Amino acid sequence: MHLQEDVIRNIYDFRSWWRYLQFKGDAPPRIRFMLYERALKELPGSYKLWYVWMSAYKLESIQTRHLALAVTHKTHFENLLLMRPYL
């Protein structure tokens, strides 16, 4: 609970989000991806968050046998990285 409060108090602090995401690492994928997306909404310039979110999404896609989804999202991620300076 204290990690969630830390994120609320320091919404633009990468370390707060990172500790909270690491703490929630055993949560169901739906919850983890929601948290990553919330963090990315507040810290869109964090390449580390983008990379970890995309890697986790790809891993989950492979584990659940959605291989086409993993390839599609990898392509979208690479396009986002290329477009990021213009956002």
- Tens-digit pLDDT profile for residues 24-53: 989 888 888 888 888 888 888 888 888 888
pLDDT score for 60: 77
- Res. 1: pLDDT tops 70: no
Residue holding tokens 């991806």?
33
Q: Mean pLDDT, to the nearest integer, of 48-75?
A: 72
Phi and psi at residue 64, in whole multiples of 5°? -95, 10
Better-scored residue on pLDDT, 87 or 45: 45
Look at residue 64 and give its three-state secondary structure. coil
Spatial contact of 54 and 29, defined as CB atoms under 8 Å apart: no
In this prediction, residue 86 carries a pLDDT of 45
Gap between the Cα atoms of 2 and 85, Å rounded: 34
Range 35-42, long-range pairs (CB < 8 A, 24+ positions): 42/11, 42/12, 42/17
Percent of the chain with pLDDT over 70: 69
